[in-house]
A and B are shown apart, each in its own frame.
Chain A
């Protein structure tokens, strides 16, 4: 297949100024990523230079057949690690032809919250720990698990090394470099407690860009698993039983929390989150009740708790933050299939804008 690779890797920069832009959006389920590409006459450095586009919403469950056009508005651009050169990925959100956000467009409301002067002043930072599971293509059973059976119990796999402990590192390492190339702020990766489960972290990212970066990182991951012939799952509890679930722990801080005396601001913020526990849980991902059981390093879904260095709590404050009297905290409740636009803006809204 080497001539196919030759063609895929052609460096068009030598023969034309044209670039290819892959427009990415979120489909009707709220978790299905979609994309298509178009040619533009020359390099682009700002999303505002990209034209609006449209797609067939009746094929993604987002519009009726007799009025199917949905408008794509580019919001963030990244270098394309697959096409390289001057080619780009563009994260978009979706509007009706009249200019209203469609119901599955969660970015729109998040952007409003992040533009509120009180929120802007607090410069909210987010670090999201995205966990995910790799599945064998034909059987939807985790990668390298024996078909019809199970691997040895959890213990050796967290950050593990070796053919019997680490399943799928190629994908993870390719994803790490691809995202850094793209300009996504991936801060790290690690093998997770359940074999064939991995995590990458995006951040610190300010405001709305946390959601943009995480969605494009998910897109790049799904493109890479596609190349590898492996299925990507964001299910929060892919295997029932004594196997860890998958979360998207969201680390958060504001300017006040990062400044001296911030620990008190943190405690007040955690209190407010406790008062809105049910509302947050409802928005933190489908199927989370299968994961938040109080076992496997989670807190029970119906209970709100927080603690320093406590991985069995809803919210964990790190020892560094406790010691320095300022820093950030980790909301461990969101599931791996959460929408980062929803979670980040809701955490900001509750802690900065909401009055009990």
Chain B
């Protein structure tokens, strides 16, 4: 198949100024990523210079057949690690022809919150720890797991090495480099407690860009698993029983929290989050009740508690932050299938704007 590879890897910059832009958007379920590509006459570095586009919303559960056009607004550009050259990936959000955000467009509201002067002044930083599980294609059972059975119990797999402990490292490593190439701020990766489960972290990112970067990182991951012939799952509890779930712990700080005396600001913010626990949980991902049981390094879904270095809490404050008197905290409640636009903007809204 090397002839096919030769063609896929053609460097078009030698023969044309044209570039290919892959427009990415979120479909009707709120978690299904979609994309299609178009040719542009030359390189583009600024999303505002990209043309708006449209797609058939009746094929993604987002519009009726007799009025099917949904408009794509380019919001963020990344380098395309698959096509390389001057080709780009473009994260978009979706609007009606009249210019209204469609119901599944969570970015629009998040952008409004992040544009609020009080929020902008606080420069909210996010580090999101995205966990995910890799499944065998035809049976939807985790990769490396025996068909009709289970691997040995959890213990050896977290950050493990070796063919009997680490399943799918190729995918994780190529994803890491592909994202760095693309310009996504990946800060690290690790093998997770359940075999076949992995984590990557995106951040620190400011405001709306946390959501943009995480969604494009998810897209790149799904393109890579597609190449590898493996199915990507963001289910928060893919295997019932004594197996860890998958979360998207969201680390957060504001300018005030990062400055001297920030620890007091952090405590006040955590208090506010505690008062809105139910509202946050409702927005933190479908199926989270199967994961937040109080076991497997989670806090029970109905309980709000926080603690230093406590992985069984809803919110964990690191020992570094406690010692320095300033820093950040980790909201451990969001599920792996959360929408980062929703979670990041809601945390900012509750801690900066909301008055109890």
Closest chain A residue to B28, Cβ basis = A155
Within 8 A of B (CB), among A156-191: 156, 158-166, 169-171, 173-178, 180-181, 185-191
Task: Give the Cβ gap from A208 to chain B, nearest Cβ, in Å.
Answer: 21
Q: Within 8 Å CB of A158, what residues of B?
A: 34, 56, 59-60
Q: Within 8 Å CB of B122, what residues of A?
A: none
Q: Within 8 Å CB of A82, what residues of B?
A: 3, 7
Task: Give the Cβ gap from B222 to chain A, nearest Cβ, in Å.
Answer: 4
Q: Would you call B229 and A224 a contact (CB within 8 A)?
A: no
Closest chain B residue to A162, Cβ basis = B222
Q: Within 8 Å CB of B18, what residues of A?
A: 180
State A312–B59 Cα separation when bound (angstroms).
12
Say whether A309 faces chain B, with CB atoms less than 8 Å apart: yes
Q: A115-131, CB under 8 A of B: which get 1 and which 0?
A: 00000000000000000
Closest chain B residue to A167, Cβ basis = B226
Query: A163 and B230 in contact (CB under 8 A), knowing A224-B4, A224-B7, A297-B65?
Result: yes
Q: Within 8 Å CB of A79, what residues of B?
A: 15
Q: Would you call A161 and B222 a contact (CB within 8 A)?
A: yes
Say whether A228 faces chain B, with CB atoms less than 8 Å apart: yes
Q: Within 8 Å CB of B34, what residues of A?
A: 158-161
Q: B1-35, CB under 8 A of A: which get 1 and which 0?
A: 11110111010100110101000000100001111
State A228–B34 Cα separation when bound (angstroms).
25
Query: A310 and B66 in contact (CB under 8 A), knowing A161-B222, A177-B10?
Result: yes
Query: A227 and B3 in contact (CB under 8 A), knowing A158-B59, A164-B231, A312-B65?
Result: yes
Say whether A307 faces chain B, with CB atoms less than 8 Å apart: yes
State A189–B34 Cα separation when bound (angstroms).
13
Say whether A15 faces chain B, with CB atoms less than 8 Å apart: no
Q: Within 8 Å CB of B138, what residues of A?
A: 146
State A186–B20 Cα separation when bound (angstroms).
10
Task: Give the Cβ gap from A205 to chain B, nearest Cβ, in Å.
Answer: 13
Q: Would you call B1 and A228 a contact (CB within 8 A)?
A: yes
Closest chain B residue to A189, Cβ basis = B37
State A169–B83 Cα separation when bound (angstroms).
12
Within 8 A of A (CB), among B137-169: 137-138
Closest chain A residue to B12, Cβ basis = A180
Q: Would you call B66 and A161 a contact (CB within 8 A)?
A: no
Say whether B353 faces chain A, with CB atoms less than 8 Å apart: no
Q: Within 8 Å CB of B10, what residues of A?
A: 81, 177-178, 181
State A61–B19 Cα separation when bound (angstroms).
42
Say whether B219 faces chain A, with CB atoms less than 8 Å apart: yes
State A180–B14 Cα separation when bound (angstroms).
11
Say whether B323 faces chain A, with CB atoms less than 8 Å apart: no
Say whether B190 faces chain A, with CB atoms less than 8 Å apart: no
Closest chain A residue to B61, Cβ basis = A155
State A173–B4 Cα separation when bound (angstroms).
9
State A163–B226 Cα separation when bound (angstroms).
4
Task: Give the Cβ gap from B53 to chain A, nearest Cβ, in Å.
Answer: 9
Task: Give the Cβ gap from A89 to chain B, nearest Cβ, in Å.
Answer: 14
Within 8 A of B (CB), among A323-344: 323
Q: Would you call B2 and A161 a contact (CB within 8 A)?
A: no
State A90–B310 Cα separation when bound (angstroms).
70
Closest chain A residue to B53, Cβ basis = A188
Q: Within 8 Å CB of A193, what residues of B?
A: 59
Task: Give the Cβ gap from A308 to chain B, nearest Cβ, in Å.
Answer: 8
Q: Would you call B36 and A188 a contact (CB within 8 A)?
A: yes
Q: Within 8 Å CB of B2, what residues of A?
A: 1-2, 5
Q: Within 8 Å CB of A27, what residues of B?
A: none
Closest chain B residue to A81, Cβ basis = B7
Query: A162 and B225 in contact (CB under 8 A), knowing A79-B15, A189-B37, A309-B68?
Result: yes
Q: Within 8 Å CB of A312, what residues of B?
A: 65-66
Q: B316-333, CB under 8 A of A: which get 1 and which 0?
A: 000000000000000000
Say whether B58 faces chain A, with CB atoms less than 8 Å apart: yes
State A228–B1 Cα separation when bound (angstroms).
7
Q: Would you call A176 and B59 a contact (CB within 8 A)?
A: no
State A61–B228 Cα separation when bound (angstroms).
44
Contact among A2, A163, A190, A318 with B69 in the assembled complex (CB-CB below 8 Å):
A318
Say whether B223 faces chain A, with CB atoms less than 8 Å apart: yes
State A253–B191 Cα separation when bound (angstroms).
55
Say whether B42 faces chain A, with CB atoms less than 8 Å apart: no
Within 8 A of B (CB), among A175-218: 175-178, 180-181, 185-191, 193
State A165–B35 Cα separation when bound (angstroms).
12
Contact among B8, B12, B36 with A170 in the assembled complex (CB-CB below 8 Å):
B8
Q: Would you call B8 and A159 a contact (CB within 8 A)?
A: no
| CB-CB nearest 6 A-B residue pairs | A190-B36, A174-B7, A159-B34, A188-B38, A158-B59, A319-B97
- Listed by A's residue number, 30 A-B pairs whose Cβ atoms lie within 8 Å are A1-B2, A2-B2, A9-B6, A79-B15, A81-B7, A81-B10, A155-B61, A156-B32, A158-B60, A161-B223, A162-B226, A163-B230, A164-B137, A170-B8, A173-B82, A174-B7, A176-B20, A177-B10, A178-B7, A185-B39, A189-B37, A193-B59, A224-B4, A227-B3, A228-B4, A307-B66, A309-B68, A311-B58, A311-B68, A312-B65
Extra 7 A-B pairs, beta carbons < 8 Å, given A161-B223, A163-B226? A5-B3, A163-B231, A177-B10, A181-B16, A188-B38, A297-B59, A310-B66
